[in-house]
Structure 1
Amino acid sequence: MPKAYWVAHVDVHDPDIYAKYRAANAVAFAKYGARFLIRGAPQQQIEGQTRSRTVVIEFPDLQAATDCFHSPEYQAAKAIRDPISSADTVIIEGYEG
């Protein structure tokens, strides 16, 4: 079964409150076996448009990735983030080819 990923592009408008979101999302991510592969590292824009921050989170499978996003634990964390950031996020199944 292939792993799955959240890929998010985020602009953060209040870093102090965003730190509270990061602390709160740890509960959901631990529960669903998430592992950060990329977490806001410096990036080079080479084509198209994106936001200032990129995050890639690996999950054991598509079901875990989807369940995590819809979980009460993550939705509580997201409620902290929503007023102080703009994000484009996808959940995508990995390729095993």
Structure 2
Amino acid sequence: MKGYWIIFASDVIDTEAQQEYGRLWKPISDQYGAKLKVLEESALVESESTYRVLAVEFPNYQQAKACYHDPAYVEAKQFAQRASRREMIIMEADLK
């Protein structure tokens, strides 16, 4: 089964931090075979503070967990957390 990060985020509040996160994320995503999937706004049917839902697909659950704990991602994550408020889950599934 594949691994996923499901991210529930607010609007971007710090564009510079978001740009730096994107710059740092690219080599990390390449290393772990991660594919970003931005879900349509209509997928979010109930929310008080979430405006963006993203799914990051990994080849498997172990890769999803390993990427999250990778020191390079730990550094990059600080910029993501400055860029917007967010919550994230890591799950194993076969989403279509």
What is the TM-score normalised by the length of structure 1? 0.82
Tell me the SS of whatever aligns to 2:26.
Answer: helix
What is the identity, as a one-letter code, of the residue corresponding to 2:69?
A: H
Seq. identity, %: 27
What is the identity, as a one-letter code, of the residue corresponding to 1:24?
A: L
Is the Cα–Cα contact under 8 Å of residues 14 and 82 in structure 2 kept in the other structure?
A: no
Aligned to 1:63: 62
What is the TM-score normalised by the length of structure 2? 0.83
Aligned to 2:5: 6
Structure-to-structure mapping, 1:1-97, within 5 angstroms:
2-11=1-10, 12-38=12-38, 42-44=40-42, 45-49=44-48, 51-95=50-94
Which runs of 5 or more residues in structure 2 are unaligned?
none
- Measured in 1, the distance between the counterparts of 2:63 and 2:49 equals 26
What is the identity, as a one-letter code, of the residue corresponding to 1:81?
A: A
- Measured in 2, the distance between the counterparts of 1:50 and 1:83 equals 16
What is the identity, as a one-letter code, of the residue corresponding to 2:37?
A: L
CA separation of 1:43/1:31 partners in 2, compared to 1, >3 Å: closer, same or farther? Answer: same
- Measured in 1, the distance between the counterparts of 2:13 and 2:40 equals 17
Shift of 1:46: 2.2
Aligned length: 93
- Measured in 1, the distance between the counterparts of 2:48 and 2:91 equals 20
Runs of 4+ deviating beyond 4 Å: none
What is the identity, as a one-letter code, of the residue corresponding to 2:18?
A: Y
